[in-house]
């Protein structure tokens, strides 16, 4: 895996990718109420950091899903999901637009996450991430990458789904020219090959007032608070998570082909993937027909 290099890509996005600054379209009282709600969820997260390791896996996933959905609700963000995840443990890969992406994925599939090492030191969220079984990667030490991939493969073999953002950085989600260079980094896909686990692409799309929008994007030199404040002021913000066809790697499959197939599924670009397994080692399995799932019906997406 030495040829995969450092996992520090840069996107072509900048301030111009964000919508023009406007007056928030919810009153100050509602923004303050949302902020108080988010702080309450963060405090609840601190308690969960102690509770989660004591729970059986099924209960742990349910609690984590509930916390993520509650935090999105506090922020005024409505999540929806189309499609159904496989019951078997899988490597879940998604495009990366915003800090909201983590909550969106956990609200649908409370999997273990792959996160940069610095997250471990964050107040409240760091201990919660560790308690939830997050696999941390030190992106400044490329020699540690094979060990990190080994830990992801071990989690998959142990029956845990793992979620990752293979672009390695955020982009606005609108212009193809803004995507991080070199596309999906293939190293982590080796974990799915080694564990014989499916790869499930998740496509995240944000809408504001009914239209596709870059409003939730977290880009460049912008501070987290600036992005959070923009989200708190939005009246009708939603995130849709679409579950694409599962990719089943054969023994010895090419992780680069697997990464390209997943990226194409997420960005809806055509890709030539020969059907014969000896050629690519990747078998595409179509999910059941996508159907909208509301908060009530979506509770059993992950067994």
| 108 vs 180: which has the higher pLDDT | 108
Residue 218 pLDDT: 87
Tokens 């998570």 correspond to 241
Query: What stretch of H or E contains 144?
Result: none
How sure is the predictor about 22, in pLDDT bands with cuts at 50, 70 and 90?
low
pLDDT value, residue 118:
84
| Whether pLDDT at 3 is above 70 | no
**Can you give the pTM of this predicted structure?**
0.83
If we measure between CA atoms, which residue out of 98, 73, 75 comes closest to residue 295? 73
- Contacts with 195 (C-beta within 8 Å, 6 or more apart), sequence order: 89, 153, 154, 156, 157
**CB 295 within 8 Å of CB 77:** no
User: Which residue, 200, 126, 193, 190, is CA-closest to 163?
Assistant: 200
Quote the CA–CA distance of 213 and 244 in Å, as a whole number.
21
Residues 276-281, mean pLDDT to the nearest whole number: 47
Tokens of 184: 């999906």
Q: Among all chains, which residue has been given the structure tokens 């702080």? A: 39
Mean pLDDT on 163-189:
79
Distances (CA, A) of 59 to 50, 135, 213: 14, 20, 35
Confidence of residue 281 (pLDDT cuts 50, 70, 90): low
Amino acid 200: pLDDT: 97
Q: Chain-wide mean pLDDT for the chain?
A: 82
Where are the domains positioned within the chain? 25-287
Model pLDDT, residue 15:
76
Coil, helix or strand for 26? coil
Average pLDDT over residues 141-166: 92
C-beta separation of 204 from 95 below 8 A: yes
How is residue 8 annotated by DSSP? -
**CA atoms of 138 and 115, how far apart (whole Å):** 9
User: DSSP letter at 7?
Assistant: S
Query: pLDDT, tens digit, for every residue of 23-66?
Result: 578 899 999 999 999 999 999 998 999 999 899 988 999 999 99
For 224-247, what is each residue's pLDDT tens digit? 888 899 999 999 999 999 999 999
Structure tokens at 76: 């005024």
- Other C-beta atoms within 10 Å of 141: how many? 12
Residue 199 has pLDDT above 80, yes or no: yes
Contact (Cβ atoms closer than 8 angstroms) between residue 119 and residue 129: yes
Q: Mean pLDDT lowest for which of 136-140, 150-154, 227-231?
A: 136-140
Q: Which of 36, 33, 56 is nearest to 44 (CA)?
A: 36
Nearest to 250 by CA among 185, 184, 199: 199
What tokens does 53 get? 């390791």
User: What kind of architecture, by CATH, is found in domain 25-287?
Assistant: 3-Layer(aba) Sandwich (3.40)
Find out whether 27 and 205 touch, Cβ atoms under 8 Å: no
**pLDDT greater than 90 at residue 221:** no
Task: Please state whether beta strands 199-208 and 91-94 pair in parallel, antiparallel, or not at all (unpaired).
Answer: parallel
Rounded alpha-carbon distances, angstroms, from residue 194 to 71, 93, 94, 151: 35, 16, 20, 11
pLDDT band at 176 (very low <50, low <70, confident <90, very high): low
Integer Cα distance of 150 and 148 in angstroms: 5
Q: CA-CA distance, 286 to 276, in Å (whole number)? A: 16
């Amino acid at each position: 895996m030495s040829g995969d290099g450092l996992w520090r890509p840069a996107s072509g996005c900048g301030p111009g990718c964000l919508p023009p600054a406007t007056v928030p379209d919810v009153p100050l009282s509602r923004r303050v109420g949302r902020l108080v709600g988010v702080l309450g969820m963060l405090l609840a997260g601190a308690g969960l950091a102690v509770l989660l390791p004591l729970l059986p896996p099924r209960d742990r996933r349910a609690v984590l899903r509930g916390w993520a959905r509650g935090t999105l609700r506090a922020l005024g963000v409505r999540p929806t999901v189309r499609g159904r995840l496989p019951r078997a443990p899988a490597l879940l890969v998604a495009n990366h637009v915003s800090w909201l992406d983590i909550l969106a994925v956990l609200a649908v599939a409370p999997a273990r996450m792959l996160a940069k090492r610095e997250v471990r030191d964050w107040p409240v969220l760091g201990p919660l991430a560790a308690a939830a079984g997050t696999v941390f990667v030190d992106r400044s030490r490329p020699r540690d990458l094979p060990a990190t991939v080994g830990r992801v493969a071990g989690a998959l073999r142990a029956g845990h789904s793992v979620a990752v953002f293979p672009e390695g950085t955020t982009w606005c989600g609108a212009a193809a020219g803004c995507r991080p260079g070199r596309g999906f980094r293939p190293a982590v896909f080796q974990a799915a090959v080694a564990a014989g686990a499916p790869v499930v692409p998740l496509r995240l799309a944000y809408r504001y007032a009914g239209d596709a929008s870059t409003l939730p994007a977290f880009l460049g030199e912008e501070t987290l608070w600036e992005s959070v404040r923009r989200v708190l002021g939005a009246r009708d913000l939603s995130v849709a998570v679409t579950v694409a066809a599962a990719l089943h790697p054969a023994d010895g499959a090419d992780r680069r082909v697997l990464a390209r197939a997943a990226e194409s599924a997420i960005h809806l670009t055509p890709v030539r993937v020969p059907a014969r397994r000896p050629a690519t080692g990747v078998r595409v399995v179509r999910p059941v027909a996508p159907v909208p799932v509301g908060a009530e019906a979506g509770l059993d997406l992950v067994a």
